[in-house]
Chains A and B, each alone.
Chain A
Amino acid sequence: MTQLRAWLTADTPVSRNHARAIQAYLSWRALASNPLTMIGLLIVVALVVFATLAPMLAPQSPVAQDLTQRFIAPGTQYLFGTDEFGRDILSRILYGARVTLYIVVLVAVTAAPVGLLVGTVSGYFGGWVDAALMRITDIFLAFPRLILALAFVSALGPGIENAVLAIALTAWPPYARIARAETLTIRTSDFIAAARLQGASGFRIVVGHVVPLCSSSLIVRVTLDMAGVILTAAGLGFLGLGAQPPLAEWGAMVSSGRRYLLDYWWVATIPGLAIFVVSLGFNLLGDGLRDVLDPKSS
């Protein structure tokens, strides 16, 4: 253990991987020193664990109805109570974590690479490419996000896939802006000039040298954005345009519990609390990551 720590904190790395390990370890230490960040990380990890293990953890099926067990208050029998169809809310929350995770991951893996590519290409090549790409980015950036997502979903039809598509379409422009700003400072560096003199193609420079350097600030932004994505997805679900019943989705659960709010408070309150906690988790983690990876912007 002490040997490992000594290896990880050595000030003279002996290999490239050693240097990387030291870097990662030091970042981790900085991250772990902030308790709020750790709470955020814990929430995000819990989301992933609950979503993956939902079938094993859930005491009941998320869709099994039992009308004799309607509106049972939270207690020992049902931890979070039951809803208007006698379904166990705890099980629905656990399965709902899958929907939330699915949306978050899908938006992140579609919007972030697109934004990264547009931004780096735009920043590196400049000229008319830059002008054209940034105009398009500006147009999308000027749109109200939820409204545009609403219009998209109404055209494509309600459902998770369309909700993801709509959110991803409105999520990439800020990433493009960040990537472009980073690229502009990187492209005049000596090592880029060296790579160019060695005959590297523009594509190779962008993908091999520029993209990796932009990724840390992008990771911060994506993490912070995930909170907003969860809220937008939940909003779409609340309006009945996201995941369709009987699939357990937190926003839709709040919406259906809304009718019984004053008599059976838990039906709408608990799924909303789940949205809030997960969204807070991403915000806390994102804040902490920014302090470590991207100190200049905080």
Chain B
Amino acid sequence: MALTFFGLLLVTFLIGRVVPVDPVLAAIGDRASHDTYEQVRREMGLDLPLWQQFASYVLQVLKGELGKSVLTANTVVDDIKRVFPATMELATTATLFGVAFGVPMGVVAAVNQGRWPDQIVRLLGLFGYSMPVFWLGLMGLLLFYGILDIAAAPGRVDFANLDVVETWSGLILLDSALQGEWEVFFDALHHLILPAAVLGYLSLAYISRMTRSFMLEQLRQEYVTTARVKGLSEARVIWRHALGNVMVPLITVIALSYANLLEGSVLTETVFAWPGLGQYLTASLLAADMNAVLGATIVVGAIFIGINLLSDLLYRLVDPRAK
């Protein structure tokens, strides 16, 4: 875990080193004299051996310093704090969507193995694995916004509702509900549904497929037969006994799909003009703002690693056999 994070820092450090942009020139411009150049180079620590530069880089990151963004003139940490809640809101809603539909679909598919419900779920899953998420988003916009006109335009709220709610948590649904701004709340919800459904479809594909295979395994077990012989209703056997045991490995799957959504959100946010981490990352990329790019990469990577670790711990907590 710590090693993985160390590896992440090493990779971002090396990426930062191979950029064809000279950081000294970027800071002082190309008209400065040679002496100034040498002085700034020393001040930035670029004359030190590579391993010393890396060590000071690690120390900096551990202290929570990711440098300044050239694009926004803020520190990268402040920028990320500002944009991250939007991504979290999107990814969380999408995961809820994926779990709410994916788990029942997987169960139904497993119970009807080989028959038409199973085929439909399998096909929906395959489509989800093969669909470019940015294209799905555009098609959603075209259909629900352009033609049917029931979805909201891209963005997080309507223009009139911008900055109505004070930023407390940054989660606009939570903030507007706490402050009693129900109009903003429903507007934000309206804007959230389509991008969350698009992104949630990806996790639905993954979750339903995994639920199906876990369920198939459980339904072959002897305790299921015992429960049936005892005269329990089929619904109880499936939804309580079998699904109850599936929940444990499912936690890992859901956590992993949540981490994957953070990544999928980069493309979705671009399509839906969603002011989150993904859009921040792409905007910085196109402006070659390396501090911001590497900072965002570190943050997403760290969350990714953290979620992996958390799901491992949860698994051990819930499943006594894993101890």
Q: Determine if chain A interacts with chain B.
A: yes
A interface residues, Cβ below 8 angstroms from B: 135-136, 138-140, 142-148, 150-152, 154-157, 227-228, 231, 234-235, 238-241, 251, 254-255, 258, 261-262, 265, 268-269, 272-273, 275-276, 279-280, 282-284, 287
Interface of B is mostly: helix
Task: Please name 10 further chain A to chain B contacts, defined as beta carbons within 8 Å, in addition to the given A135-B3, A258-B138, sorted by A numbering.
Answer: A138-B3, A150-B266, A155-B290, A227-B130, A231-B133, A234-B132, A235-B133, A239-B282, A262-B146, A279-B129
A150 — which chain B residues lie within 8 A by C-beta?
266, 281-282, 285, 293, 297
Which of A144, A238, A254 is most buried by chain B, counting CB atoms within 10 A of its CB?
A144
State whether A283 touches B138 (Cβ < 8 A): no
State whether B142 touches A144 (Cβ < 8 A): no
State whether B267 touches A238 (Cβ < 8 A): yes
The residue in chain A whose Cβ has the minimal distance to the Cβ of B10 is A139
Contact residues of B between 125 and 142, Cβ < 8 Å to A: 126-127, 129-135, 138-139, 141-142
B50 within 8 A of A: no
Smallest CB separation, A279 vs chain B (Å):
4
B288 within 8 A of A: yes
B interface residues, Cβ below 8 angstroms from A: 3-4, 7-8, 11-12, 15-16, 18-20, 126-127, 129-135, 138-139, 141-142, 145-146, 259-260, 262-264, 266-267, 270-271, 281-282, 285-286, 288, 290, 293-294, 296-297, 300-301, 304-305, 308
A152 — which chain B residues lie within 8 A by C-beta?
15
Interface of A is mostly: helix
State whether A254 touches B300 (Cβ < 8 A): no
State whether B297 touches A283 (Cβ < 8 A): no
B3 — which chain A residues lie within 8 A by C-beta?
135, 138-139
A156 — which chain B residues lie within 8 A by C-beta?
18
Which of B130, B260, B267 is most buried by chain A, counting CB atoms within 10 A of its CB?
B130
The residue in chain B whose Cβ has the minimal distance to the Cβ of A250 is B132
**Known contacts A143-B8, A283-B129; A261 and B142 CB within 8 A of each other:** yes
Smallest CB separation, A174 vs chain B (Å):
14
State whether B138 touches A254 (Cβ < 8 A): yes
In angstroms, Cα B296 to Cα A284, docked, is 35
State whether B126 touches A283 (Cβ < 8 A): yes
B134 — which chain A residues lie within 8 A by C-beta?
234-235, 238, 251, 254-255, 272
